[in-house]
Amino acid sequence: MISMQTTEADLWIDGEWRPAASGKRFDVIDPATGEVTARVADAGEDDIDAAVTVAEEAFSDRRWLAISPLERGRILRRIAELIRQHHDELARLMTRENGMPINMARFIEIPLAADCFDFFASLVVKPQGEVLPFSVAGTAPDYMAWTVKEPIGVAGLITPWNFPLLMPTWKIAPALAAGCTMVVKPAPETPLTALKLAELCQEAGVPDGVVNVLPGRDEAGKALVRHPRVPKIAFTGETATGRHILQAAAPHIKRVTLELGGKSPNIIFADADLEQAAKSALFGVFYNSGQVCQAGSRILVERSVYETFVQLLADRANTLRMGPGMSARTDIGPVVSREQYDKVLRYIDIGRQEGAKLVAGGNARPELGGYFIEPTIFADVKPSMRIAREEIFGPVAAVIPFADEEEAVRLANDTIYGLAAAVWTNDIKRALRLARRVKSGTVWINTYQVLSPTAPFGGYKQSGLGRELGMQALEPYLETKTVICDVNDRPLTLF
């Protein structure tokens, strides 16, 4: 059983623990201390094949689909309730693996994950077909035709480390609602939370073999994407990795959905409530130490209030409390790993070298014991600078001035990404104009980072393919079958 005391964990296949075929393990590091806290089985190609075989058998014998839709919905609701019951344990497990401040885990990630299972429980009965008008030219119109929705089969779900519970939930819940079985590969930085979720699925009544969770590194992910008996891949992570997944999935024409990177614009007009906009902008870019795909890392500010707003941001950023995520007083925890720590610090150096003005933060804090970086704000950033164009995935904000609405739209859309954006203004007509003109999958007005399972989430351009959450999240896990029945006394024949 996975708990805060877990120091070793295996793969979860067919409702039981199995060691990796190779016997290999990898270390899980607490980012607040840099110390090893657990060693976890490292899945390889043989393990992925074994899990796919189990999931395929579970799909073929209909052990999940044979359960009535209403009962499947109740099982998903039981998962939601178990997440709520294990609230403190899950929060501590996530913070141990990811470094997220525990209050954010308790009051944001866990409630969202539970709500997600509740929402998709309500959609179990929704995959319905339709009766079609149908006729064949020159014949009697005595045909019946209809469509049915059927689950696609085994889904390969690959999840990142920034939200160890929520990201697996966003994929497992719709896959279960659609009737699929699955093999889940969580990020190696945060495998324990996903394994705990597998246990809760079993406890709620999901049959063995339906949800299989295999922690592993690159070999496991590549094997899952390439596997010929996995028709569906859902991935959340870096855009560069998404490109590789598309290429690897192409030989088998797999159904692929991708939720990828972002460099999201947060647009502040002079008539906005600047105090509230500043608070929200800091949450938008520094939540989870900036390790959020939709982070508002480009803060675009109307020139007439630019200096005032930059000072507001800097003053507030300097009050944020850094420390280990287990402390309820912590606002900013560590970044997830040494690799991420080094990457973010390189970008801060790049910002300095490019000539941006550092107005807050900019330093590592090794004396805190782990991978801590101060919340960092660069002002006077030019749109051509790398810190304004490349996804940093850390606590770094680039503040850019604009002259008018036209320039704000141009700057907002001047990116390969299109995941999210926000507009701050008291002019409702302007807000709605920008919501229409900014090319992003989500546009917030006078808010940031608020999400609900009922609202589709995903990106334009190189921020991804398809949508997670909302009704649209079910479709990638379903096939549409057309059934045509000839009820004429004399069936059509040409011979």
Q: Is residue 90 part of a domain?
A: yes
Please state, in angstroms and as integers, the Cα–Cα distance from residue 29 to each residue in 11, 220, 233, following that order.
18, 20, 28
Domain that holds residue 311: 265-445
Catalytic residue among 109, 189, 259, 302: 259
Residues 132 and 238 in one domain: yes
pLDDT score for 142? 85
Q: Is residue 450 part of a domain?
A: no
Residues 160 and 275 in one domain: no
Residues 51 and 110 in one domain: yes
Residues 288 and 220 in one domain: no
97 is catalytic: no
How far, in Å, CA of 360 to CA of 311, rounded? 10
User: What is the domain-level CATH number for residue 400?
Assistant: 3.40.309.10
Q: Is residue 315 part of a domain?
A: yes
Nearest Cα to Cα of residue 180 among 90, 60, 290: 60
CB atoms within 10 A of CB 276: 12
Which of 401, 417, 445 is a domain's end point?
Answer: 445
pLDDT score for 137? 78
Q: Is residue 37 part of a domain?
A: yes
Q: Is residue 451 part of a domain?
A: no
User: What is the domain-level CATH number for residue 207?
Assistant: 3.40.605.10
pLDDT score for 451? 96
Residues 121 and 27 in one domain: yes
Domain count along the chain: 2
Residues 270 and 255 in one domain: no
Residues 238 and 219 in one domain: yes
Return the half-sphere exposure (C-beta side, CA atoms, 13 A cut-off) of residue 311.
Answer: 4
Q: Is residue 1 part of a domain?
A: no
Nearest Cα to Cα of residue 3 among 37, 41, 51, 27: 37
Residues 300 and 345 in one domain: yes
Q: Is residue 253 part of a domain?
A: yes
Residue recorded with tokens 């519970």: 165
Alpha helices in 147-286 (DSSP H): 166-178, 191-204, 218-226, 239-249, 274-286
Residues 296 and 425 in one domain: yes
Per residue of the chain (495 residues), give pLDDT as tens.
899 999 999 999 999 999 999 999 999 999 999 999 999 999 999 999 999 999 999 999 999 999 999 999 999 999 999 999 999 999 999 999 999 999 999 999 999 999 999 999 999 998 888 999 988 876 767 889 999 999 999 999 999 999 999 999 999 999 999 999 999 999 999 999 999 999 999 999 999 999 999 999 999 999 999 999 999 999 999 999 999 999 999 999 999 999 999 999 999 999 999 999 999 999 999 999 999 999 999 999 999 999 999 999 999 999 999 999 999 999 999 999 999 999 999 999 999 999 999 999 999 999 999 999 999 999 999 999 999 999 999 999 999 999 999 999 999 999 999 999 999 999 999 999 999 999 999 999 999 999 999 999 999 999 999 999 999 999 999 999 999 998 887 766 667
Are the beta carbons of 152 and 133 closer than 8 angstroms?
no
pLDDT score for 389? 98
pLDDT score for 490? 74
